[in-house]
Amino acid sequence: MDFSSINWLGVIVCVVASMIVGSIWFSRKTFFPMWWKAIGKSEEDGPGSQNMGMLWGLTILASFVQAIFMSLMVNAMGSMTGGHTLVSGALAGFFLWLGFVAPSSLTNKLFANQLTAWMLEAGNHLVTFVLMGAILGAWH
């Protein structure tokens, strides 16, 4: 792995994009109510009872790690195909989602009997991974 090939500014932009996508995807006007119910929570449970600083800090850290490794994968795929582009980056994001994120999270949700929650979460990850790949592929 060549960490010197990472576009660090692109990684930061990907983290911000990930936070924006997640905020829109799971807003109260989009999928949050359906997801909250799908994970077995009621309106009385209300989000925010956790340590919000730690919750957001770990969320941003997770997104940062994803963006770093997305950058490495976009670079690796680009070197195999003659250069990275928006399309090759988006495809890298899609393939990472399809091969690793979707199946591993599906297994967890199947055993928890939460298929609807998986569809909502996997959709968010799909959009995020494709967007991160596209950003890093186009911005080299």
pLDDT exceeds 90 at position 22: yes
pTM of the model: 0.92
Domain that holds residue 27: 3-138
pLDDT exceeds 70 at position 49: no
Amino acid at 2: D
pLDDT digits 0-9 by tens, 69-119: 999 999 988 777 777 899 999 999 999 999 999 999 999 999 999 999 999
Q: What does the block give as tokens for 38?
A: 């799908």
Domain count, the chain: 1
Indicate if the alpha-carbon torsion angle 111, 114, 116, 118 is positive or negative.
negative
